[in-house]
Amino acid sequence: MKSLTLRKYLRGLGVADYKVPDRFEFIDSLPLTPVGKPNKVALREVIRQRLQLAPQQDNTL
C-alpha cells in the first residue's frame, strides 16, 4: 500500500509517468559507510537478498 501512496505523491508533484518506478523496495534504514555516507555496495546486497526471499516476480533492478 505504501507504493501506491508514494506513486500518487510523485505524480501529484508533476513527475512524469516514465520517471516513476514500477516497483519500490522499502528498507528500514540505509547501510552506511564508517564516514556516514550511504554504502551503495551493501545496499545492493540487501536488495539482492530481499529479492531472493521474495516470491518469484520480475526481479529487475
Place of cell 551493501: 42
**pLDDT higher for 30 or 58?**
30
pLDDT at residue 3 is higher than 80: no
pLDDT of 1 reads 52
* CA 33 to each of CA 20, 25, 41, 45: distance values in angstroms, whole numbers, following the listed order: 28, 21, 10, 14
Rounded Cα distance, 59 and 57, in Å: 6
**Cα dihedral 8, 12, 17, 22 in deg (nearest 10):** -20
Q: Which residue segments constitute the domains of the chain, with CATH numbers given?
A: 2-53 (3.30.300.30)
Give the predicted TM-score (pTM) of the model. 0.54
pLDDT at residue 40 is higher than 60: yes
pLDDT at residue 19 is higher than 90: yes
**pLDDT higher for 3 or 56?**
3
pLDDT of 55 reads 63
